[in-house]
């Protein structure tokens, strides 16, 4: 397999590029190992090409380190559109002083905000992972808005083909039940297939219309995993796989797309 460098990562959204001109595109980010970094990387990239962006969460998250204006409000669907004039803005419901995190909005409030079309892109962190590189969602997780056009599932690439145990997996009992792995077992292709395809796995509660993107973040041993990616893309109901490290440059270094049932490796 050859690898495709991506000069413009946003082109990974493929034929859905026009979506950002027709309505507010809702992108929900779930999983573990870099969700917040992914959210604000995407916010910067969309703003850089002139899109209006609102970044928020349906759970709790740390305030952005980036130079993005932050707005607090109880009911974002009632705010006047003028407050969303900057290229990118972060909007939250409140502040949890004890945790040092901001609180977000319910999925229903995200849906209502999207309908107002105050921005081109609504980026939503829709999951929590307590700093682990890998997680299985609990009964109440993730909190994904039904209006989501894309669901990006983030996973720490350092876990692939490595021994898995409770110390590096959030909600280990659930993950073990989904994948069939026992403590010390390696996270190989069969376990990854289970995790991607299982209804309570990687894309749990993703709306049926949403495109599914798997982001393998902090991927330092890419040569050890690329051989299994085409099979995972073809068999996992995924629309794309991204590889990279979103805190580095370039954030995304490789991509695979599934077009009309075929796996393709494109230079985007």
Q: How far apart are CA 1 and CA 223, in angstroms?
A: 11
pLDDT, tens digit, for every residue of 53-97?
999 999 999 887 778 888 898 888 777 888 777 889 999 999 988
User: pLDDT tens across 93-135, in order?
Assistant: 999 888 889 999 999 999 999 999 999 999 999 987 777 888 9
What's the rounded Cα separation, in Å, for the pair 252 and 148? 22
- CATH number, span 9-264: 3.40.50
Q: What is the pLDDT of residues 183-232, one digit of tens each?
A: 989 888 889 999 999 999 999 999 999 999 999 998 755 555 667 788 88
pLDDT score of 4 more than 50: no
Domain ranges of the chain: 9-264
Backbone phi, psi, residue 151, to 5°: -125, 120
Range of lowest pLDDT (137-141, 146-150, 175-179): 137-141
What is the SS3 assignment for 195?
helix
């Amino acid at each position: 397999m050859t690898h495709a460098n991506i000069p413009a990562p946003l082109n990974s959204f493929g034929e859905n590029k026009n979506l950002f001109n027709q309505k507010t595109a809702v992108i929900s980010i779930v999983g573990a190992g870099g969700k917040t970094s992914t959210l604000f990387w995407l916010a910067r990239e969309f703003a850089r090409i002139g899109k209006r962006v609102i970044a928020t969460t349906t759970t709790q998250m740390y305030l952005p380190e980036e130079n993005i204006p932050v707005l607090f409000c109880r009911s974002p669907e009632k705010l006047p559109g003028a407050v969303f004039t900057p290229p990118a803005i972060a909007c939250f419901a409140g502040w949890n002083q004890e945790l040092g995190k901001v609180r977000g909005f319910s999925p229903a409030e995200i849906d209502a905000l999207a309908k107002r079309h105050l921005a081109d892109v609504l980026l939503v962190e829709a999951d929590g992972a307590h700093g682990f590189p890998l997680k299985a969602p609990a009964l109440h997780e993730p909190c994904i808005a039904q209006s989501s056009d894309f669901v990006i599932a983030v996973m720490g690439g350092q876990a692939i083909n490595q021994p898995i145990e409770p110390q590096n997996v959030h909600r280990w009992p659930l993950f073990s039940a989904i994948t069939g792995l026992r403590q010390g077992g390696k996270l190989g292709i069969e376990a990854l297939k289970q995790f991607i395809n299982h209804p309570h796995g990687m894309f749990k509660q993703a709306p049926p219309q949403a495109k599914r993107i798997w982001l393998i973040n902090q991927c330092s041993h890419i040569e050890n995993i690329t051989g299994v990616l085409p099979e995972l893309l073809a068999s996992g109901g995924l629309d794309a796989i991204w590889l990279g490290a979103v805190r580095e440059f370039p954030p995304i270094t490789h991509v695979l797309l599934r077009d009309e049932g075929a796996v393709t490796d494109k230079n985007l």
